[in-house]
Amino acid sequence: MELVSRNPATGEVVARYPVMSDAELDATLDAVGAAQQSWRSMALDDRIGAILSLAEVLERHRDEAAQLAAIEMGKPVAQGRAEIEKCAWACRSLAEQAPTALSPMDVPTEFRRSRVVFDPLGVVLAIMPWNFPFWQVVRAAVPALLAGNAVVVKHSPEVTGCALLLQRIAEQAGLGEVYRTIRATHEQVGRLIGDRRIAAVTLTGSTRAGRIVAARAGEMLKKTVLELGGSDPYIVLADADLDATVETCAAARMINSGQSCIAAKRFIVAEAVRARFEEMLRERLRRYEPGDPLDGSTSLGPLARGDLAETLDRQARESIRRGARIVLGGGPTGVGAFVRPIVLADVVPGMPAFDEETFGPLAAIVSARDDEEAIALANRSPYGLGAAIFTRDLDRAEQLARRLDAGSVFVNALVRSDPRLPFGGVKDSGWGRELSLFGVREFVNVKTVVVA
């Protein structure tokens, strides 16, 4: 069996990669497990040094990585360069946070000494997606590595070239023994989750994949972090600065051609400003014209696969059939996996544009009478990843933010992951946290040590 990478702009095959045999996977686990024993015993300062080296090597490969992502999954090269720069920032930020996150905690008790220490779990299996082929891996792997774990990465087959480049980057940074990329089938991954040499699993992917992985890991009583889908609501209140709000909302919907779990997907707008918001968003999104992702001026590349464009088209058509109104009529161009932006209004629960995650440039506008209805509509979703509120009343916004079912709420800004802050969701968006000191502590044994 082989893994196939295709250029979504043209449909042409980029490369074919053989799947690893069971014997190769077995040897990899043995080697990584042995290396992790040395890595965990290393001084934290030395692990931090390796991660800082990783940041430097990533920056040296920035242009190469961005071009490869453009070819394999259609990300415009300007966004690909920004992705690598964010990876380097995360390495440096997490390295700075690691001493605080991992320092032993002394707890006063009647004993001579009572201490909480944070020991690594072992080898973490990371199952990664295609949409941010470098950032998602760095976000999951770097905190685990800093904590003293080793990481085995099973990347999405669409971006195997990116996965292998990241492996070379890790090797150049001195992490090659504790960071290993594998090429495996779903069946092989299922067996790996059950393997005693795998201590924990982290997955970024669909809710369906999350349920499968959680069930298998739960059967084996293994710790998991699941960063799954999202249908982020952006609530626009009547007093919002519409010029700034629309600019932010458009950027939040269109990042990575709309293929982001934390992209803005449902715009819940106060009725008093809904008509103007519709008009302004339509005019802003109309400027996004599909183009060659290898062109530095392109802001809208193709979706990663043709079937993703077909799914988005189905979601739009079915929503229109159920009563949604076309504000901007885009859709598949018929060339590669390119899709022009779509804006639908009068979207209500029961439509795919409201109920499902729309992974592409489709904006759904939902009308709300007041704050109470806006919160109810925002929470009327199986997802709970990110959310945003736009208003001039910041105290009011903070009160509303506490009522939203989401792992992150941003006020007057687009939802984003930041290495200084914990990232993750609730409900069907998963559990556990990445990034910040919370992410560094996810794959550790929180161990109590008492000396009488």
Residue-wise pLDDT tens digits, 298-308: 999 999 999 99
DSSP state string for 363-390: EEEEEESSHHHHHHHHHSSSEESEEEEE
Give the pLDDT confidence of 247-288 residue by residue, as tens digits: 999 999 999 999 999 999 999 999 999 999 999 999 999 999
Nearest to 359 by CA among 342, 375, 376: 342
Q: What is 135-199 written as a DSSP string?
A: HHHHHHHHHHHHTT-EEEEE--GGGHHHHHHHHHHHHHTT-TTTEEEE---HHHHHHHHH-TT--
Give the Cβ contact number of residue 225 at 10 Å. 23
Q: Give the list of residues 6+ apart from residue 104 with CB closer than 8 angstroms, or none.
A: 115, 116, 117, 118
Six token digits for residue 172? 């150049």
Q: For residues 256 and 73, what is the distance between their CA atoms, to the nearest angstrom? A: 10
Q: What is the mean pLDDT of residues 389-414?
A: 98
d(CA 409, CA 419): 16
Same domain, 186 and 124: yes
As given in the structure block, the two tokens for residue 9 are 């702009």
Is the pLDDT at 1 greater than 90? The verdict is no
Q: Are 125 and 154 in contact (CB under 8 A)?
A: yes
pLDDT, tens only, 349-362: 999 999 999 999 99
Identity of the amino acid at 429: S
**Token pair for 255:** 């990042």
Nearest to 160 by CA among 128, 136, 190: 128
Can you read off the two tokens belonging to residue 11?
Answer: 């449909």
Tell me the sheet residues that pair with 153: 126, 181
The helix (run of H) or strand (run of E) holding residue 394 is helix 394-401
Q: Are 396 and 388 in contact (CB under 8 A)?
A: no
Which domain, by its residues, includes 327?
232-418
| Angstrom distance (rounded) from CA 243 to CA 245 | 5
* Same-domain status, 253 and 276: yes
What mean pLDDT comes out for the span 419-423? 98
What are the angstrom distances between the C-alpha of 407 and each of 120, 145, 417? 25, 24, 11
User: Can you give the length of the chain in residues?
Assistant: 452
* CA dihedral of residues 402, 408, 414, 418 (deg, nearest 10): 140
pLDDT of residue 225: 98
Percentage of residues in the chain with pLDDT exceeding 70?
A: 100
**For residues 145 and 36, is the Cβ–Cβ distance under 8 A?**
no
At 373 the pLDDT is 98
Mean pLDDT computed over 438-450: 98
Distance from C-alpha of 341 to C-alpha of 300, rounded to nearest angstrom: 9
Q: How confident is the model at residue 79 (pLDDT cuts 50, 70, 90)?
A: very high
How high is the pLDDT of residue 304?
A: 97
The answer to whether residue 424 sits within a structural domain is no
pLDDT at 57: 98
Domain membership flag for residue 183: yes
For position 395, what pLDDT does the model report?
Answer: 98
pLDDT digits (tens, 9 = 90+) for 169-181: 999 999 999 999 9
pTM: 0.97
* Residue 161 sits in the same domain as residue 293: no
Burial class (CB in 10 A: 0-12, 13-18, 19+), 174: middle
Q: Name every residue whose Cβ is closer than 8 Å to that of residue 151 and which is 6 or more positions away in sequence.
A: 123, 124, 126, 140, 141, 144, 145, 178, 179, 180
Q: Are 278 and 327 in contact (CB under 8 A)?
A: yes
Q: Is residue 195's pLDDT more than 90? A: yes
Q: What is the pLDDT of residue 215?
A: 98
Q: Based on the domain organization, do 277 and 144 belong to the same domain? A: no
Q: Which tens digit of pLDDT belongs to each residue from 159-168?
A: 999 999 999 9
pLDDT at position 38 = 98
pLDDT beyond 90 at 105: yes
User: How many Å apart are CA 259 and CA 333, to the nearest integer?
Assistant: 17
CATH code: domain of residue 255 = 3.40.309.10
Contacts for 191 with CB less than 8 Å, ≥ 6 apart = none
Active site residues: 227, 261
For tokens 């043995």, name the residue. 30
Confirm whether 245 is domain-assigned.
Answer: yes
**Claim to verify: residue 236 and residue 219 sit in the same structural domain:** no
What total of structural domains would you count in the chain?
2
Q: The domain spanning residue 66 has which CATH number? A: 3.40.605.10
Place of tokens 């001039």: 392
* pLDDT reading at 237 higher than 90: yes
* pLDDT single digits (tens) 86-104: 999 999 999 999 999 999 9
The mean predicted confidence, pLDDT, of the chain is 98
Is residue 423 in a domain?
no
> Do β-strands 264-270 and 232-236 pair in parallel, antiparallel, or remain unpaired?
parallel
Residue 275 is which amino acid? A
Question: Considering only CA atoms, which of 147, 98, 156, 103 is closest in space to residue 121?
Answer: 147
Who has greater pLDDT, 424 or 1?
424
Split at pLDDT 50, 70, 90, the class of 43 is very high
Sign of CA dihedral 335, 337, 338, 344: positive
Indicate if 57 and 115 belong to the same structural domain. Answer: yes
Q: Is the domain of 163 the same as that of 254?
A: no
Shared-domain flag, residues 275 and 377: yes
256 assigned to some structural domain: yes
- The yes-or-no verdict on residue 325 having pLDDT over 90 is yes
Asked if 111 and 59 sit in the same domain, the reply is yes
The tokens for 272 are 């008093």
The pLDDT confidence band at residue 380, using thresholds 50, 70 and 90, is very high
pLDDT of residue 141: 98
User: Rg of the Cα trace of the chain?
Assistant: 22
Same-domain check for residues 297 and 381: yes
Does one domain contain both 276 and 373?
yes
Query: Does residue 72 sit in the same domain as residue 132?
Result: yes
